[in-house]
A = this chain, B = another copy of it.
Amino acid sequence: MAESSPLDVARIRRDFPILSREVRGKPLLYLDSAATTQKPQVVLDALMDYYTHSNANVHRAIHTLGEEATAAYEGVRDKVAAFLGGVDRRGVVFTRNATESLNLVAYAWARPRLARGDEILVSEMEHHSNLVPWIEAARVTGAVVRTIPVTDEGLLDLDVYEELLGHHTKIVAVTHKSNVLGTINPVAEMAKAAHDVGAFVVVDGAQAAAHMPVDLNTLGADAYAFSAHKMLGPTGVGVLWARPEVLEEMDAFLGGGEMIREVHMDRATFNEVPWKFEAGTPNIAGVVGFGAAIDYLQALGMDKLNQHETQLTLYARDRLEEIGGLTLFGPRDAIHGGGIVTFWDKDVHPHDLSTILDTHGVAIRAGHHCAQPLMRRLGVVATARASFYCYNDRDDVDALVMALHECRKYFGHVS
């Protein structure tokens, strides 16, 4: 009955040293990959290799270490460009995280272009990182943030979206995939409609880029942001992608070393893109480690990873629904989502759930998942979320379900 997974999870797990640790005396069962993923040994090796062989500052050194460090760092830009469907490497800017990428666009592209009365459409399912930068940009410029609502099925209400779109719309900011509902939004379609009214489309790819194939040549996004740490890479590395022409038109953001061309005491000219947006010494080692993560993902195959997660998510939804007393959020439909199961136990507070699961070695997330407006829409303060990656399988889901039964027993609810 169960489709077999396209991934060899048992073998994959052996690549992740942390998965053999114990938590409170139980083997770790990590179901919080939507927050951050664990790292395979090859990523750690790349970090170590960089620091023990080639560590130097990039771009300006003539010496061998500097040359090696620069080649390694810039080589990862090529890998990212290939990973995103074969885009121009000059469109790939390294940042700290998806959050910084989105702020970069809000500061350097949006703020100088927004005026009183302009509208920014932001969806109700956004992570705070794709909401607060727009609230702030609106506050400073007199623009207005308008909401693309979420339907009861956990999808964006595209009818309302179409109605909201108009000549006042300057920016559409939408997530490619929700970190709470797992919903994958129809970005291509939405971007087309936005471009028809001349709006700029900013897509939060923090969840999507990590879990499914993404082709930025066809997606229609004008800017796309994501984080390495959510896709097997080190912490402290993010990507902002935009077409080179867009980056060239944008104001500079952070000023300093690396991003300049000529500096006088009273004026400066800026470097070519993408370096214009990479001020100061970058997270060189982190970027190099990210390169190894991309190689690892490419070897797995993003389509296979996505298929694996979708199967696992459907299985998990079925099993969780059997428990009774749980409300599951987000669309069930595999076309619309995957990798994430968010739920709410009518009898046990999500944080109690999380604490009790932790004593079983099970790491899930409880809270608002940095999506407070969406929580309000769902009518809850906080929810519990289990999220999957290449190293999770059905056994993990079974263990989660068993632990949830124990929780409910613990609080005296026989389920």
Asked whether, in the complex, the Cβ of B103 is within 8 Å of the Cβ of A255, the reply is yes
Asked whether, in the complex, the Cβ of A366 is within 8 Å of the Cβ of B62, the reply is yes
A370 interface residue, CB < 8 Å from B?
Answer: yes
Interface of chain A residues 230 through 276 with chain B (CB within 8 A):
234-238, 252, 254-260, 262-268
- Look across to chain B and name the residue whose beta carbon is closest to the beta carbon of A355: B62
| A interface secondary structure, majority | mixed
A142 interface residue, CB < 8 Å from B?
Answer: no
A-B contact pairs, 28 of them (CB 8 A): A21-B52, A23-B64, A32-B56, A32-B63, A35-B57, A60-B370, A62-B366, A63-B358, A63-B363, A65-B363, A96-B96, A96-B280, A100-B279, A106-B255, A128-B263, A130-B256, A132-B268, A135-B255, A135-B263, A136-B255, A138-B266, A234-B283, A234-B286, A235-B286, A260-B370, A263-B373, A264-B373, A265-B373
Bits for A335-367, please: 1 = Cβ < 8 Å to B, else 0.
Answer: 000000000000000010011011000111111
Asked whether, in the complex, the Cβ of A133 is within 8 Å of the Cβ of B103, the reply is no
Asked whether, in the complex, the Cβ of B266 is within 8 Å of the Cβ of A145, the reply is yes
Task: Tell me the bound Cα distance from A135 to B284 in angstroms.
Answer: 27
Asked whether, in the complex, the Cβ of B48 is within 8 Å of the Cβ of A61, the reply is no
Q: Tell me how many chains of this kind the complex includes.
A: 2
Which residues of A are interface residues toward B (Cβ below 8 A)? 17-18, 21, 23-24, 28, 30, 32, 35-36, 38-39, 43-44, 47-48, 51-53, 55-57, 60-66, 96-100, 102-103, 106-107, 122, 124, 127-133, 135-136, 138, 145, 147, 227, 229, 234-238, 252, 254-260, 262-268, 279-286, 351, 354-355, 357-358, 362-367, 370, 372-373
- Look across to chain B and name the residue whose beta carbon is closest to the beta carbon of A60: B367
